[in-house]
Chains A and B, each alone.
Chain A
Amino acid sequence: MKKERIKTVLLCLLILNCIQLTGRIWLDKKLWPAGYNFFHYAGNVPVIGDLLNKFSDNYTGLEEQTFYEAIRPKRIIAGDGSGRSVLYSNDSEYKDIIKIVSNIIKKLTPDISSDEIHNEQIEKSLLNKSVYLDYGYIADFNTLIKSFEVKDSKDFPTNQYAKSIIIVPENLENKTSICFVSEDGETAVRYRINTGEDKLIKQIDSLKSKRTKRYAFAFDLNLNADADTKNAVRLSPFIVLNTEDKEGLLISVSNCFDNKKTLSEVSDKIVNAFGYNPSSLRKAVSNRGTVRYIENNATVNVYTNGIVEYSATSKGMGIKISNPSDAESVIKAVMSVAEHIYRTVDNDHNANFVLSGDAFINNNGKYKVELDYFINGVPVKFGDNGENAVVSVIENGFIKDFKMHIAEIINSDNNVTWPSVLDAINTYADRNTERSADGILKDVYECYSVIDDKVRAGWFLNSSDGIMQIVHN
């Protein structure tokens, strides 16, 4: 009898609980504000996340070598005041210099004393045989050093940033200077290590003897911003100017989604890259073929033109990064998602990303990571304003926004000649007659320009007053 009474009470309590839960759901009150995709959020707990990753295809397959190549210098400018050579990553001499510089950089440690030098001294150092490593992005010293496959942490201060490194062998004093140059080229932090470097000088001399094209920095020609150029376009001192046109292979860029059926099937695999099980998301396909996934705290859109967008809609939500205060972890996390998406759509080729963008600076826990496709030593830019292949915003340890152009990029059989850099700067000036008198062109480099599936050889120009443009032939 007593047993029967207990059963009755329990049953009544369960029924009452069901009724009140039903009432709460009908009144549109969330029981779990964070959402009901429990396995996704459990994945944000480190131990559980690691365990779940082992059983899903979301386990990071990013190889260390892929990361190192993504953060390498875009170009190397070697020479002295009488002339310079520019090496791209697909040149064999580029790899030779990287190898020599790696041995130098590995001797650099934070306890070596440093001093700050300014623009005149920086420019003077480059008048001697030297190597200028043009990264094309800004990062802290540790990240730049890691591009030489330095595995052990160097612990340089993380609040110091640079956009390029200058290596100057000083054989007369048996030293080598390593200068981390700021974005504007006005200052550099210089370390001097106690070793002469004959190998580097020999390599620079070898390049000089083989040189067929001559390059110069803007300051070599006194065309840098400090000069009294009156109404002329103002150039950052380390803009590279060439007097002969660059030639190379043209590439072909194609949309990976050749029909709507393919898109719908592939989209389900793409959302896996974001850590979701597509069957647990609300999915809708628009008339235009755009596939949209909605989860309580995020949306994923996959467009027919190959663009994927992820956006976490709630604060404190997104794709968790294991060590968000470390630049390497953040870059790897974004690269891992991008590589995963790319592999899902195109299994035959690597994406071959490089780090790009204006800044990778910790701004109160907010970062922006930008990646470009990179082929033949030249980045690929999308649209008239030179959009990156991947743009991601990280906040408070989570990837909050992620946008990617998915495209298959291969070399074609056709050659192409880039327009001259002077023509590109003239076109920029022509288009921007109302530009600020204080504006300085801080980035001018070759790119492949993709606009509406048409590929052209072009130049990417970026000025200090926020004008970013592509100029192509």
Chain B
Amino acid sequence: MILILLFTVTAVSAAPYSLSSGTLGNTSGFITVTNPASVNAATVENSYIVSGYGKPGVTVTLYKLSGGVYYKTGYSWNIGASGLFFKQIVIGTGKNYYLCYAESGNLYQIARFEVTGLNNFNNIRVNPFQ
């Protein structure tokens, strides 16, 4: 009975409640974040779409930095057979530091990015074809 319970716990590994700011993954190749395209992004909206592709079956949990520690947010998704993911998240004004925790079994990959909320810059326009 105890062995069965232990097996159940190790087979279904839940993302931890919090992660230290220096957390590193123990694998790679689970996910690639395509939006934002680089580590830093900015938006005038109060929400942002995080997207990317990854290995089907991987579970991705989003963490947000607060007080030097990354805490689990309510955003979590499984990557389906298409290998694609995109999720709309609410962001606040100013810098928002995020971490994607992509796990499968005992292996997990970390991907960090930052989105700055610019609520006062709604009217920037550039020549569209240059």
A: which residues have CB within 8 A of B?
82-83, 117, 121, 124-125, 127-130, 168, 170-173, 177, 214, 216, 220-223, 227, 229-233, 235, 241, 243-244, 422-423, 425-430, 433
Contact = CB atoms under 8 A, between A and B. Distances in A.
Nearest to A130: B128
Interface string B105-129: 0000000000000000000011111
Nearest to B126: A128
Q: Which interface residue of B47, B83, B126, B128 has the most chain A CB atoms within 10 A?
A: B128
Given A124-B129, A229-B83, A423-B80, A223 B53 contact: yes
B95 interface: no
Interface stretch (B13-21, B37-45, B62-70): B37-45
Contacts of B127: 170, 172-173
A31 to B, nearest CB: 63
Interface string B41-55: 001110101011110
Given A172-B125, A222-B34, A422-B85, 18 more contacts: A170-B127, A214-B45, A220-B35, A221-B86, A222-B37, A223-B35, A223-B86, A227-B34, A229-B83, A229-B84, A230-B53, A232-B54, A232-B82, A233-B83, A425-B80, A426-B81, A429-B82, A429-B83
A221 B48 CA distance: 10
9 contacts: A82-B43, A121-B129, A214-B49, A220-B35, A221-B35, A223-B52, A223-B53, A223-B84, A429-B80
Contact of A221 (B45, B49, B83): B49
A336 B47 CA distance: 48
Nearest to B123: A205
A223 B80 CA distance: 15
Nearest to A433: B81
A403 B125 CA distance: 50
A426 B82 CA distance: 5
A222 B51 contact: yes
Nearest to B127: A172
What 4 A-B pairs are tightest by C-beta distance, nearest first? A232-B83, A426-B80, A222-B34, A221-B51
A230 B83 contact: yes
Contact of A117 (B86, B88, B129): B129
Q: Would you call the interface of chain A mostly helix, strand, loop, or mixed?
A: mixed
A107 to B, nearest CB: 19
B49 A168 contact: no
Contacts of B86: 216, 221, 223, 241, 243, 422
A392 B37 CA distance: 45
B116 to A, nearest CB: 13
Contacts of B82: 232-233, 422, 425-426, 428-429
Contacts of B45: 82-83, 214
A177 B129 contact: yes
Given A124-B129, A168-B128, A423-B80, A243 B34 contact: no
Nearest to A213: B88
Contacts of B125: 128-129, 171-172
A16 to B, nearest CB: 79
Contacts of B87: 243
Contacts of A430: 80-81
Nearest to B47: A214
B83 A231 contact: yes
Contacts of B47: 214
A433 B83 CA distance: 12
A193 to B, nearest CB: 15
Contacts of A172: 125, 127
A177 B126 CA distance: 14
